[in-house]
Structure 1
Amino acid sequence: METLSVRCNHCGAPLQVAENTRFVTCQFCQSSLEVKRTESSIFTEEVAKIAANTGKMAESLEVITVQNEIEKLDREIGLGQVPATKKGGGGLAGGIAGAAFGLFFAVVCFLMASGFSSAGAGMFTIVPVGMGIFGLVMAGSALIGGVNREADRSKYQERREELERRLEELRQK
């Protein structure tokens, strides 16, 4: 078995390690070392430093993960999957406005049907009645849509605030 000569990264003492050895403990300073190899050299690195660097990288990765979640949430807003909080229209106010228009349309249609009926229009009375029913359905749909958009908007805002708090906690570490 062939041995290689390397130096301890902590105290500089010479070490003899087997060719396939990956980890070694320095017999002089008791440092735990990883034996690293490149095409042109062999050297050691303290395992404690590797662990510290790994911990820092894990913290950075967690920050990046939270940032990506915020960006994904914002992209979903931009793609219309969840209504944006800063966009006009929509929301509860938009739903109420749509419902009011639908009710107005239905009332006008029912008044037209009443007028046609009193004028003896017969079958032509059915058309404005159908349009009035359509207006009522659209009014209900607009109101329900507005309530749903408002709920989605609220969920988005809560989730974004939660992610921003988490990001701030990570940055303060």
Structure 2
Amino acid sequence: MTTLPLNCNNCGAPLPVPESTRYLTCQFCHTQLEVVRDGNAAFTKVLDALQERTEQISADVRRLELKNELLTLEHNWDRESERLKLRNKHGGTYEPSAALAVFVIAVGIVMGVGMGTYFSPLFGFLALVVGVASGIHQLMAASAFDAASKRYQQRKQQLQREINELT
């Protein structure tokens, strides 16, 4: 069996091709090629339609992967945000906020001073400690929630930007 010494029209790799072959795939770059014979000359030609369709399918697959990643990100954020939220005495959840933390600390200080003045200083000290500790806990929770929310928003924007670039 005789072969034609051809080169890939896409990457230039040498391709020994049997004379009867009309279509082939480059074993190096995986480009779909057509063997064109013109008189005494033979050469390869990239199958544009197939190449374009392959690129389109590849872009579609990438877009679907990104959309799936976006859905996964949103699902994970729903779970994480619920975990980071604080619970009230009735079991409901709320987003922690720094403003509420400052308010709780201020109320704890006022109650501590007030109770210490009108009641036993021990009660005042306990009210002060409980108020400040609750406020600090609220402040730390707000900080963790805000940081996680910022990471989520940045990743979501990045994924949406990548999806839009493929459209």
Shared fold, TM over 0.5: yes
Alignment pair present for 1:109 and 2:112? yes
TM-score normalized with structure 1 length: 0.56
1:78 to partner: Cα distance = 1.7
Which of 90, 102, 110 matches 2:95?
90
After TM superposition, the score normalised by the length of structure 2 is 0.58
Instruction: Letter of the 1:70 partner, please give it.
Output: L
**Is the 2:108–2:131 contact (alpha carbons within 8 Å) kept by the matching residues of 1?**
yes
Structure 1 CA distance for aligned equivalents of residues 73 and 109 of structure 2: 39
Higher relative contact order (CA 8 A, sep 6+): 1
Structure 1 equivalent of residue 125 of structure 2: 129
8 Å CA contact 1:73–1:156 kept in 2: the answer is yes
Structure 2 gap segments, 5+ residues each? 1-16, 26-31, 34-46, 86-92
Cα-Cα RMSD: 3.4
Deviations 1:135-159 (CA, angstroms, capped at 9, x unpaired): 1111122223223322222222111
Specify the structure having the higher radius of gyration (Cα): 1
How far does residue 54 in structure 1 lie from its aligned partner after superposition? 4.9
Query: Unaligned regions of 5+ residues in structure 1, if any?
Result: 1-24, 34-46, 118-124
Higher strand share: 2
Contact residue 109 and residue 132 of structure 1 kept, 8 A = yes
TM superposition shift of 1:62: 1.2
By how many angstroms is 1:59 displaced?
Answer: 2.2
| Counterpart in the other structure of 1:18 | none
Q: Counterpart of 2:19 in 1: which secondary structure?
A: coil
Identity across matched positions, percent = 15
Describe the shift of the 1:26–1:55 C-alpha distance in structure 2 as closer, same or farther (beyond 3 A). farther
Aligned residues: 124
SS in 2 for 1:79: helix
